[in-house]
Amino acid sequence: MTTSQVVESRGSLLGLPTYPDDPEFTGLTALVTGANGISGYHMVRILAASPDRWSRIYCLSRRPPPPNFFEDLGDGASRVKHISVDFLSSPVEIAERLKAEIDKMNFLHGLKEAALQPKRFLLQTGAKHYGFHMGPATNPSFESDPRITLEDNFYYPQEDALERYCNDTGAAWNVVRPSYIIGAVRDSALNFMIGLAIFGAVESHLGRPLNFPGDYAAWDREYCQSTALLNAHFQEWVVLTDTAANQAFNIQDGQNFTWGRFWAYLATWYGTTWQPPADDESKYKQVRCRHKNTPRGYGPTGTTRSTFSFLEWSGRLEVQKVFGELAEKHGLVLEPFTEKNRAQIFGMVDSAVLGDWPLSLSMRKARKLGFFGTADSYRSCFQAMHNLARLKLVVPPMVKEYVE
């Protein structure tokens, strides 16, 4: 059967879906949980940009949104309402908050208590579903791949709870699994772009090239990234597509990415030079993955070979001193070297950059159903760093316009 559809491109996002003016695609209401986070915020941005399709958007989070939250939504802000809800409180408490404002899994029970019946419930998890954080997984990963039981994974009980809720209530569900997410929000330190921007700015200020800490396996491996705005477009498409109901989907940028290519970009953006992996084998420390078996169940365990880690780098006094000077100069509000922030920010960078095994999420399932969106991951990184700088989290890149 031959089918056709209209797609559109917006900036660095290509092949995005379009929607008809049918009544089923107008006057919809969305509830976005964790709206202050990197995924929730970008989801709100996409929904708020379509006033005919999404007439009301409720943003649920424990903390109030930062000042820029509504400012960045432009005219769409008038259709967005924030509700302070702690999802760890009792279902009755959650229900009371939802009833008053809208004529962890407690949220599902809270919806029942409030007599709110969603048509579609979407849960975002991630590539950890396939065990990439524990070593080599099956590449590319298909949504039908079996669960990894080497250790507990909180994604699995979330999926099971969602499916039970939907079976009980008649709602449809989706699970979406992105890779490392590229984006910028004020309140999330779990963002590897922050650590890379700090690394670029500090090393440049010290007059040093950006040395790559990993080996050539990490430098050359193909990796997939997930731009937050593309994720949001995809998730909107998923919940509005009848044939996608009650299924899980991968989402990634759909274009090739290597750290070797990115390293030259990062150096240029912060006005310095770069160095490839060290040739001297004696400089490398090697750490094997923590499990004897691999997530895919066969083959050698993965290794991380590095001359330094970003977490180690962030503990150097000269690094912290220079960042303090840069923070004062640029009016930065982030304190990346507190014990918690340092572990989150630079541990995330180590996780994203180091290691000898690839990460590939298959997009064949989404493509078969008609989603053709892609993003230029390098350009997404550039835009994210500038947005992080606008939010006063990192030093602004010296390069103002993206050049391929």
Q: What is the 3-state secondary structure (H, E, C) of the chain?
A: CCCCCCEEEECCEEEEECCCCCHHHCCEEEEEECCCCHHHHHHHHHHHCCCCCEEEEEEEECCCCCCHHHHCCHHHHHHEEEEECCCCCCHHHHHHHHHHHCCCCHHHHHHHHCCCCCCEEEEECCHHHHCHHHCCCCCCECCCCCCCCCCCCCHHHHHHHHHHHHHHHCCEEEEEEECEEECCCCCCCCCHHHHHHHHHHHHHHCCCCEECCECHHHHHCCECEEEHHHHHHHHHHHHHCHHHCCEEEEECCCCCECHHHHHHHHHHHCCCCEECCCCCHHHCEEEECCCCCCCCCCCCCCEEEECCCHHHHHCCHHHHHHHHHHHHHHCCCCCCCCHHHHHHHHHHHHHHHCCCCCECECCHHHHHHCCCCEECHHHHHHHHHHHHHHCCCCCCCCCCCCCC
For residue 294, the domain's CATH number is 3.40.50.720
Q: Flag whether 366 is in a domain.
A: no
Distance between CA 191 and CA 225 in Å, rounded? Answer: 12
The reply to whether 241 and 269 lie within a common domain is no
Question: What's residue 105's pLDDT?
Answer: 46
Residues 71 and 93 in one domain: yes
Do residue 160 and residue 211 come from a single domain? no
Number of Cβ within 10 Å of residue 148's Cβ equals 24
User: Are 323 and 343 found together in one domain?
Assistant: yes
Q: CA of 134: how far to CAs of 109, 258, 301, in Å?
A: 33, 20, 9
- Among 208, 236, 251, where does a domain finish? 251
Identity of residue 264 = A
Shortest CA distance to 232 belongs to which of 2, 48, 400? 48
Q: Examine residue 173 and state whether it is found in any structural domain, yes or no.
A: yes
**Are 118 and 236 found together in one domain?**
yes
Torsion of CA 196, 198, 204, 208, to 10 degrees: -70
Q: What is the pLDDT of residue 108?
A: 62
For 351-395, write each residue's pLDDT tens digit.
999 988 999 999 999 999 999 999 999 999 999 999 999 999 999
> What does the pLDDT read at residue 107?
66
Q: Which of 236, 251, 266 is the last residue of a domain?
A: 251
Task: State the total domains in the chain.
Answer: 2
Domain end marker among 214, 236, 251: 251
Asked if residue 32 belongs to a domain, the reply is yes
215: which 2 tokens? 């080996």
**Whether 272 and 235 share a structural domain:** no
The answer to whether the CB of 199 falls within 8 A of the CB of 206 is no
Q: 167 Cβ partners below 8 Å, 6+ apart?
A: none
242 within domain boundaries:
yes
Parent domain of 329: 181-225+254-361+374-390
User: Angle between the 377-390 and 192-205 helix axes, to the nearest 10 degrees?
Assistant: 80
Contact present, 238 and 121 (Cβ < 8 Å) = no
Which residues are 285's β-sheet partners?
Answer: 306
Sites in the chain below the pLDDT cut of 70? 102-115
What is each CA distance from 182 to 220, 226, 265, 286, in whole angstroms? Answer: 20, 6, 15, 28
Residue 183's CB: how many other CB atoms inside 10 A?
25
| Structure confidence at residue 97 (pLDDT) | 78
Q: Assess whether 38 and 85 both reside in one domain.
A: yes
Cα 119 to Cα 57, 232, 245, 274: the distances in Å are 15, 18, 10, 51
| Same domain as 127, residue 63 | yes
Strand partners, 30: 57
Sign of CA dihedral 379, 381, 384, 389: negative
How many Cα atoms sit within 13 Å of 8 on the Cβ side?
5
Instruction: Report, in angstroms and rounded to the nearest whole number, the Rg of the chain calculated over CA atoms.
Output: 22
